[in-house]
Structure 1
Amino acid sequence: MNNEIIGFVDGYKGVKLFYKACLAQQPKAKVIFLHGAGEYTEKYAYFAQWFVDKGIDVFMPDLRGHGRSGGAACHVDNFNDYAKDLDIFIKFTDKGWGNKKTFLTAHSLGALISVFYTMRFTYDFKGLILCSPCFKLRLKIAPVKAWFAAQLYDMLGNRSFSSHIKPQMATHDRQIIEKFAKDPLMHHFVTASFFVEMNKAMKIARRAAGDFKMPLAVLQAGHDRICDSKAAERFYESAASQDKEFKLYRGFYHELLNETKKEEVFIDIYDWIIKRC
């Protein structure tokens, strides 16, 4: 991608955040994109290039503890740290590339972070696009493990355990599965602190849905084995947004943007953005 800039920005408490800026020649809008848990921006390179080719800039940070960013792997001390990182990153992109019409687009954990961000910071987004948002887990975690994580949160918050997410649960695309299965920057574990902080954030987001007012699109996988699709639909229904849309992609697994029919989702996102530019 010859229109790509990569680098690092200092996040909250000085944590180095890796980022990619994928730039269109004559941009119509700007997308800030946040990935999900255990992955990193490289998994969305095709997504970024597709939108750049359509005239939309895409800016993607690796979350702290993910990919090439600093911080302990799949760990966060406080969920607010993600929101503070995002605020720093957004201001960084505004300073470097202007604050043209900006859309916050995010997958799974990134979607939860995005909603959490809007509850704590003010920014003039033209819209928020949530892909298979993580408002509640469908993935079954043994009660004893959940209890153990809660205890470790106070005693040893960076102790890790398996996320129980298998690559084949996320997409039907064998090429994606095989490409990232052995990638050392992909993580299949989380820390006790991450697990507890994420659970608290999910509850807060669900309770605050009625206060959400910005333009909203919720795009949900119809066969999501990782996050609860009903929780995503309830968030959409409760949101106070005057401009909101929900779409269920029947048969799709959790990672809409990496599915075999991903371009169907890309087109829907693009059309939604262009109507609001």
Structure 2
Amino acid sequence: MWKWEAEGQPKAIVVLVHSAYEHHRRYAWLIQTLRNGGFHVVTSDLPGHGEESGRGVHDESFGDYVKHIKKMVEVALLDNVPMFIVGHGLGATLVMHLLQTEKMECAGCIISSPWLSLKHQPSKFSSMLTKLSPSMKIDHDVTIERLTRNYELYIDAQSDRHYSSAVTASWYRELNAFMKAVAAHETSIQDLPVLLQTGGRDKITDITYPKKWLANQQLSEFHYKDWKRLYHDLYQEPEREEVYQYIESFMNNVLRSLGYVV
């Protein structure tokens, strides 16, 4: 687990939860930009991801993912400043689940491109085989080209030893059950400010599902932003400066509403 500190007194602290198959180092730009904006950042690689993965086959427990995020939240709360949770992709879905099952001292939540219904699936052949062998390896084939239009990252991905979209059949089944449960959960999350962002040209997920989810929450304050031209990875896209300005404005407004001078 890592913590990056802002220069001087922080306005707040951000818990950053990455998506499936990737690792926290893909968010180096966002982490530094948050620090420049006056925010501490706590993040780490989810179990089985990053340096721990060895570019292996994902077969981790979703319960372990949730426990890991709760530990990050505990670390962040030690600073006694307002805390925001930023979750992306599957990380966003895990955060949504946590908010459905826990009450947290959270100033606000920013979720982007959550996985509730996948548009991009493994091949039909692989999907049929999942019924036969839980340990069978499947390549979800979530390539960097499907995630972002940022050509610089295509080059970086070639030497990324810690990115892998290979999973077991049992993991993929658990993923689908988990997404369905989060989407169908009837009780609203706790009443806190929420910013939901999606990419209009997302090739990975069906963005109509997050919209429906947000509309069903009983929240006093929520915001929805559809970035029409952007792909799935909003914080990696060429327009990421605009995306950051949007989330920083959201956080600053929440802090003002809580009585903090920003």
TM-score, L = length of structure 1: 0.85
The residue that corresponds to 1:112 in the other structure is 93
For 1:242 and 1:147, the matched residues in 2 are separated by 44
Where do residues 221-236 of structure 1 align in structure 2 (5 Å cutoff)? 221-236=199-214
| Alpha-carbon offset, residue 178 of structure 1 | 1.0
Matched, 1:203 2:180: yes
Q: Is the 8 A contact 1:51 1:58 kept in 2?
A: yes
Decide which of 79, 94, 104 is 1:123's aligned counterpart.
104
Letter matched to residue 209 of structure 2: A
The runs of at least 4 consecutive aligned structure 1 residues that moved more than 6 Å come to none
* Structure 2 CA distance for partners of 1:77 and 1:67, relative to 1, 3 Å: closer
Q: How many residues align?
A: 253
Q: CA RMSD in A?
A: 1.9
Matched, 1:169 2:146: yes
The residue that corresponds to 1:261 in the other structure is 239
Q: Deviations over 1:10-51 (max 9, x none)?
A: xxxxxxxxx221110211011101111111011000001001
Decide which of 215, 220, 243 is 1:242's aligned counterpart.
220
Q: Is the 8 A contact 1:214 1:243 kept in 2?
A: yes
Secondary structure, aligned partner of 2:164 = coil
Letter matched to residue 22 of structure 1: W
* Structure 2 CA distance for partners of 1:215 and 1:144, relative to 1, 3 Å: same
Letter matched to residue 206 of structure 2: D
Secondary structure, aligned partner of 2:50 = coil
Q: Deviations over 1:232-257 (max 9, x none)?
A: 11111112212111000011011000
For 1:178 and 1:71, the matched residues in 2 are separated by 20
Q: Is the 8 A contact 1:36 1:108 kept in 2?
A: yes
For 1:135 and 1:99, the matched residues in 2 are separated by 33
Gaps of 5+ in 2: 256-262
Matched, 1:180 2:157: yes
Decide which of 7, 21, 31 is 1:38's aligned counterpart.
21
Letter matched to residue 111 of structure 1: A
For 1:198 and 1:61, the matched residues in 2 are separated by 21
* Structure 2 CA distance for partners of 1:138 and 1:241, relative to 1, 3 Å: same
For 2:131 and 2:107, the matched residues in 1 are separated by 38
Q: Is the 8 A contact 2:148 2:233 kept in 1?
A: yes
Q: Is the 8 A contact 1:150 1:196 kept in 2?
A: no
The residue that corresponds to 1:146 in the other structure is 127
Question: Identity rate of aligned residues, in percent?
Answer: 24
Letter matched to residue 172 of structure 1: R
| Alpha-carbon offset, residue 209 of structure 1 | 5.9
For 1:80 and 1:71, the matched residues in 2 are separated by 21
Matched, 1:133 2:114: yes
The residue that corresponds to 1:20 in the other structure is 2
Secondary structure, aligned partner of 1:276 = helix
TM-score, L = length of structure 2: 0.90
| Alpha-carbon offset, residue 58 of structure 1 | 1.1
Letter matched to residue 184 of structure 2: R
Matched, 1:78 2:61: yes
Q: Is the 8 A contact 1:22 1:52 kept in 2?
A: yes
Secondary structure, aligned partner of 1:211 = coil
For 1:237 and 1:36, the matched residues in 2 are separated by 23
